[in-house]
Structure 1
Amino acid sequence: MNEPRLFLAALSLIASPAMAGDIDLRIVDAAGRPVSDAVVTVRPAGGIPAGPIRFPWGTTMVQQNIAFSPHVLIVPVGATVKFPNKDKVRHHVYSFSKAAKFEIKLFGQDESRSYTFTSPGAVALGCNIHDAMSGFIKVVDTPFAAKSNAAGQARINGLATGTARVTVWHPLLKGKDNELLINLPIPASGMVSKTVPLALRASK
């Protein structure tokens, strides 16, 4: 007589949302000053959920004022990035990085080119015409990613409870692949706040 009730109770447990917590990191340098453009990625204890990865900030890196904007862009594996030229001069975008080796030859004002990134990793960009131009695309295979703002803050929500593997990347970070790895316990609910100091090389 109780079997239907037991079945419904079990079904409700399966259908209920998994417990999840959030992290709020403050990225600073050795002197305690905030570090912007640090990329934080997380692999939760339960792994990466299935399905396509999308971010709200889009997949466009503009050339404007003889600079790449944004300076650091996070995109998922498989993303096609557009490179519109808003300058009055021509640009020649290239990368020799392990994650993506390519070049986009000369194109002028109001023209746009694109490239599809198929491997995770950091991609350093340059311009063959303007040596001072530099930019970075961080290609990720997790939907749990964020970039630190001017205050050094990076927040990621909805992480499954358990010990998560957190990676912090910055183009000037000392260490293998410019990365720092942290194991961070994620609660069943609520926020984990942590200050993460980085050892950075001097910028050129």
Structure 2
Amino acid sequence: MRHHFSAALCAAALGAASMMPGARAAELVLTLGDGTRPVADAVASLHADAREAPGATAVMDQRDSTFVPGVLPVQVGTAVSFPNSDQVQHQVYSFSTPKPFELPLYAGTPRAPILFDQPGVVVVGCNIHDWMIGYIVVLDTPHFGKSGAGGEVRVKAPPGRYTLRVWHPRLDAPVERPLELGEGRATLAMTLALGPPPPDRRSSDRLRALQDRLRSLRRED
């Protein structure tokens, strides 16, 4: 299964940072858009020293032949389970360099989760349902978050100097910039140059299946 995502080099329109003095921790409130609308499912992370999270767990479910969540950020060292909540079987796999793996055709929950021990983006698919695509973003930092429908993501971290990194499936490469956080809250706005959304493969597959069924019924008549 091959996936193509094209995008122009990302341009960041940076808003001024505002600080609230007196707080002991720092929080980055990042608002992401593409120039016309908010951007959901973007992963923002703050990087300083690489860290692992041994013993951490996470879940990527399968519901209505869709990975839920479709984008799952985790820290290096996290074990991810892939329960199948559907009435049909799935065969989950990835060819991505950080973690190639395969879960043979199954229903319910596999016995053992998959350990993600290398940073990078892991594209997950299903050998049975080609439209199923999920992304596990494995990060070497505990400071990360994912934007919601409004394009906002909040990341907490100790005050200090970081590299801010923003990833999205429709970017050619993550956006990076240096960032220094003081105590309190910092607000920042960024505009991402996203590529076009992928075609709705689920609809086309269902249409072909319906057409095949209609043709078979006509032959039977």
TM-score interval, smaller chain = 0.7 to 0.9
What pairs with 1:37-186 in structure 2 (closer than 5 Å)? 37-44=41-48, 47=49, 52=53, 59-108=58-107, 110-112=108-110, 114-161=113-160, 163-174=161-172, 178-186=173-181
Aligned AA (1:153): E
**Structure 2 gap ranges (5+):** 1-22, 199-221
Matches of 1:123 and 1:186, distance apart in 2: 29
Matches of 1:183 and 1:87, distance apart in 2: 43
Aligned AA (1:26): T
Given the superposition, is the C-alpha separation of residues 52 and 81 from structure 1 closer, same or farther in structure 2, using an over 3 Å criterion? closer
Other-structure match for 1:5: none
1:144-183 Cα distance to aligned partner (Å, 9 max, x none): 011111111111123323x321000111113xxx300011
**Structure 1 gap ranges (5+):** 1-17
Aligned AA (1:112): P
Given the superposition, is the C-alpha separation of residues 54 and 165 from structure 1 closer, same or farther in structure 2, using an over 3 Å criterion? farther
> Are 2:31 and 1:30 equivalent residues in the alignment?
no
Matches of 1:185 and 1:54, distance apart in 2: 30
Given the superposition, is the C-alpha separation of residues 37 and 127 from structure 1 closer, same or farther in structure 2, using an over 3 Å criterion? same
Give the number of equivalent residue pairs.
175
1:78-112 Cα distance to aligned partner (Å, 9 max, x none): 2111110111111011111121111111002x233
% identical aligned pairs: 38
Given the superposition, is the C-alpha separation of residues 198 and 72 from structure 1 closer, same or farther in structure 2, using an over 3 Å criterion? same
- Normalised by the length of structure 2, the TM-score is 0.73
CA contact under 8 A between 1:53 and 1:142: conserved in structure 2? no
User: How large is the Cα RMSD of the aligned pairs?
Assistant: 2.1
Normalized per residue, the structure richer in strand is 1
